[in-house]
Structure 1
Amino acid sequence: MKIVCIGGGHGLAQMLLALKPLNAHITAIVATTDNGGSTGEIRKNNNVIALGDIRRCILALAEDNDLLAVMAKQRFEHCGQLSGHSLGNLMLLALTQISSSPTDAITWLCHLLGVEQTILPMSDTPVDLVATLANGKRVLGECSIDALKTVPETVALSDIVFAPLQATSAILNADYVFIGPGSVLTSVLPPLLVPNIQQALQKTLACRVFVENVAKEQSVADLQPLSTQEWLSQLLGFQFNDITITTDAISLIDQREHTEQHNLKNEQLHDLSTLNHVLSQFLKPNYINSHDLSNQTLH
């Protein structure tokens, strides 16, 4: 089974962890517009794509007891200019400088960590997210967009960029394309704004599945009146999915007895145990015929 996952942030990493036990062939296409934290500092000083979410996705698929993976997760403390930086981010930066290609750098780090699945950036070219408000004001960068108090009229990329050929090829040849979960504007949306990713999503015969968060997002995205799927389609100008697994559907599919810790999922946008169970049920043979779809919503 060939599965493509599109998104960013913690949501995509959780999705990969949830799919990991299912032994599918996975390709992850990762948002690269983050401009905060260690990633933001590296971007500002080196003119590279955002590396943090890529590192997070690679480590999600690496073996937990791998010493190099443990080191790559390490974040420096009380180390002068290194303070706050993740070693994994710096490894990706070094490999990018050696290869002059983020895609190649990611492939090399995956090889070093024994990750056999495919991790790809939404683009090898640095780009930012831009929101335009109703009064015409333009807001540049994910951090500023995350802080908005009013819903933007449009959201776009600051320049035209293209995804690696492997990314569009994976979408066109996939059985399933999972989009989300995660922060709508800053994790889910950026890869969907890349022109050749849009074209591949509209041409593919794969079942395109939008996975909502298990809890409401505490951001400007929660202020708009439409469903998340409708709002994203409106921003994009095309229908990007065939099926939506809503928050209610996630609760309905996951009927296991919840432990006290599992019940805390409602405080989070995504929960690993729930995602794993829901995806296992969803991907069962004959659960759904992906060729007989008319934008269904599971709720």
Structure 2
Amino acid sequence: MKIVCIGGGHGLSHMLSAIRPHCAELTAIVATTDNGGSTGKLRKSQDVVALGDIRRCCLQLADSDSLIHQVFHHRFDGGELNGHSLGNLALLSLTQQTNSATQAVAWFNAMLGNSETILPMSDEPTDLLAVMSSGIKVFGECDIDSQEELPDYLTLSQDVNAAPGVVQAIENADMLIIGPGSLITSVMPAMLVEDIAKAVQQTSACRLFIENIAKEASVIKSLDMQPVDWLEGMLGYRFCDMSISLDALSEIVSHFDDVVKSPNQQHDIEQLSNVFGEILKMPLSLEAEQLVSSNQTLRVS
């Protein structure tokens, strides 16, 4: 089975580890609008796409005991490099040498010995832009996340093309998994790229949206409706065939004693792997019918 995952942050990297045992071909499309931390500093000084979530996904798939994993995982403490990850700097170097974020990621991933495909959502830098109810425009993920109210509208600061291979991967997928992760900063960015939006709407793949497992401390905490409904309203198109909440995740694998330890936990790789082991055991039509009858928090669009 060919599975394509779209997202960012810790959610996407953990999802990749969970799904890897269950599919023959795995591709990740990573959001590249982060403007905080080491990534934000590099973006500001070098005008590149966000590299941090890409690095995190690549390292998550690599052998954690290997020397190269430890080296690229290192984060500097003190001096001009304070806070920078060596993995981010390596990706920056490869991007400058290849003039292509996509090629840089491919080389970095190969250095780590990974067989999975990691793609940036675009080779062109862009940022999230929010329009508030007052009409004020808020630029960048960090400032948007710190707002007290949800934006009326979200877009990209400039239109960009999907990175090479992204649209083809979505078109050829058997299953498309969106999330889990922050709705605004992990899920939305790639879905706002026009080429990706069209591919998501036209693909014949089963499109599965996984709600965030960890509670968000960002502006999204004020959301008072179902995440899938809010996302579809903001995006302006239907992007999933099924959506699964935290409660539904626990129901799917209810015969595992420790499926959900706490609603505030970070994404648990073993639990996610159990979930998809169960989902992929049966045909989609049967799976949806059975799951909906057992728990109404799984919704079929």
Find the aligned partners of 1:48 and 1:74 in 2 and give their Cα distance.
21
Indicate if the aligned counterparts of 2:181 and 2:213 stay in contact, CA closer than 8 A.
Answer: no
Counterpart position of 1:121? 120
Find the aligned partners of 1:291 and 1:17 in 2 and give their Cα distance.
24
Counterpart position of 1:268? 265
Find the aligned partners of 1:269 and 1:149 in 2 and give their Cα distance.
24
The answer for unaligned runs of 5 or more in structure 1 is none
Cα deviation, residue 125, structure 1 = 0.4
Deviations 1:109-152 (A, max 9, x none): 11111111100001000100001000100000000011010110
201-210 vs 245-254, which moves further: 245-254
What stretches of structure 1 move > 4 A for 4+ residues in a row? 289-292
CA RMSD of aligned residues (A): 2.0
Counterpart position of 1:197? 196
Cα deviation, residue 269, structure 1 = 4.8
SS in structure 2 at match of 1:267: coil
The answer for unaligned runs of 5 or more in structure 2 is none
The percentage of counterpart residues that share the same residue type is 49
Find the aligned partners of 2:60 and 2:39 in 1 and give their Cα distance.
18
**Mapping 1:257-296, distance limit 5 Å:** 257-258=257-258, 263-264=261-262, 266-288=263-285
Distance 1:282 1:290, change over 3 A: closer
Superposition TM-score, scaled by structure 2 size = 0.93
Find the aligned partners of 1:183 and 1:245 in 2 and give their Cα distance.
15
Deviations 1:270-299 (A, max 9, x none): 22222111111111132546999xx99626
**Mapping 1:117-156, distance limit 5 Å:** 117-156=116-155
**Mapping 1:204-223, distance limit 5 Å:** 204-223=203-222
Distance 1:162 1:290, change over 3 A: farther
Superposition TM-score, scaled by structure 1 size = 0.93
Find the aligned partners of 1:204 and 1:85 in 2 and give their Cα distance.
38
Indicate if the aligned counterparts of 1:182 and 1:270 stay in contact, CA closer than 8 A.
Answer: no
Letter in 2 for 1:275: L
Counterpart position of 1:27? 27
Find the aligned partners of 1:290 and 1:85 in 2 and give their Cα distance.
44
Find the aligned partners of 1:228 and 1:204 in 2 and give their Cα distance.
22
**Is it true that 1:95 corresponds to 2:94 in the alignment?**
yes
Cα deviation, residue 23, structure 1 = 4.0
Find the aligned partners of 2:288 and 2:244 in 1 and give their Cα distance.
17
Indicate if the aligned counterparts of 1:130 and 1:155 stay in contact, CA closer than 8 A.
Answer: yes
**Mapping 1:57-68, distance limit 5 Å:** 57-68=57-68
Distance 1:267 1:142, change over 3 A: same
